[in-house]
Amino acid sequence: MDEHKVPLWRDDRFLKIALQVIVLAIVVALLALLGGNALINLRRLGIPPGYDFLNNPASFGIGDTAIPYSPTDSFGRALLVGLVNTLRVIVLGIILATILGIVVGIARLSENWLVRQIATIYVEIFRNTPLLLQLFFLYTAVFLRFPAVENSIRLPGPTFLSNQGIFLLWPAGTARTWIALAVIIGSLILGILFWRQRVKVIVLQGASGQNYFFAMIALAVIAVLALLFGLDWQAPVLQGDVVTGGLNLSGEFGALLAGLVLYTAAFIAEVVRAGIQSVSKGQWEASRALGLQPGLAMRLVIFPQALRVMIPPLTSEYLNLAKNSSLAAGIAYADFFQVANTINNQTGRVLQVVSLIMITYLTLNLIISLAMNWFNQQVQIKER
């Protein structure tokens, strides 16, 4: 007897594929319609549709530049300067907000009443006030209130604090510095590999792994020596009303970074608190039964398990920090969004500039998402 064939209109597999094809066709048609209308409107206004304007001279200055730039450079170079400024804020912001958020999140669960209440007040204040308002306050009430350069506050380091920003000790971009950085990075990579091998030896073979431990100590010593003596450090020098040498972090950069860190860390603290509380009390009791101190139990037992719960919401907070960095325009920090907006005002290429902004922030967020998804896979329990 021949097998009965299901008609295509009743075949689930065919219907699912057909539905996806129809949806894709509708999306492509909508994009084609919108693109066609945009081209028609651009021609009607006499605006070329291409991106060749990026090669034209920018003719405007940028106050805070991490890479060389002059007004005679192109619009494309100006956008690159803004992108580097944005990346500086995002990378430093994620690192500092994570550290502060973990500390505050653990403090929220402290048995010390005062520490717990201080952490709670911090979280409630920064979570429940607008970020833009916090940026305005930090910029106008804190960073602009520092003394003038000639009356700078001198801190250990040496570090100068003034209304023109913070001047820090910083390595020069010489060959010596790059060699020392390569040594430091190599030591860190080897240290991580040795640490993982030591853990495997201890867990699987029950050995002490002393050879790996001594190798890690040696690598740590090499990295510290390269950091202290290998880098070609340059100290800022105050000469009248001018500070030369070192690294200058402008007040706008400092206000934006501080605002993003304080705001995002308040949300990360709640993620950390919830992640730790998601670990069953039995894990705490087992840690105490093994004689582990509370700090050691948190580091070796509780926190690694809490990471599996924390990473997905942490990804959202990192993405929010990257997007919130565009609020730099409110305090005149030359990030990618502000530089692009200046180019838009000068050229009138609204569609092209907006598309560049969208593509840039989309790319940054996708990179963060991919990195966090990879990290999430690494900390998950591997089932056999």
Reported pTM: 0.83
pLDDT at 383: 58
**240 or 135: which leads in pLDDT:** 135
pLDDT of residue 17 exceeding 80: yes
Give me the sign of the Cα torsion angle 63, 64, 70, 75: negative
**372 or 41: which leads in pLDDT:** 372
Structure tokens given for 60:
């405007």
Q: How confident is the model at residue 3 (pLDDT cuts 50, 70, 90)?
A: low
- By C-alpha distance, which of 321, 281, 343, 292 is closest to 88? 321
Question: How far are the Cα atoms of 58, 88, 171, 315, 333 from residue 79, in angstroms, in the given order?
Answer: 10, 14, 26, 26, 13
Beta-bridge mates of residue 161 = 153, 166
Q: How confident is the model at residue 203 (pLDDT cuts 50, 70, 90)?
A: low
Yes or no: say if 237 and 152 are a contact pair by the CB < 8 Å rule. no
Tens of pLDDT, residue by residue over 283-342, are 878 877 877 777 778 877 888 888 888 999 999 999 999 999 999 988 889 999 999 999
pLDDT at 1: 44
Cα–Cα dist 278/170, whole Å: 42
pLDDT at 384: 55
pLDDT of residue 2 exceeding 60: no
Cα–Cα dist 233/214, whole Å: 29
DSSP labels, 91-112: HHHHHHHHHHHHHHHHHTT-S-
Yes or no: say if 160 and 153 are a contact pair by the CB < 8 Å rule. yes
pLDDT of residue 4 exceeding 70: no
Tens of pLDDT, residue by residue over 92-105, are 999 999 999 999 99
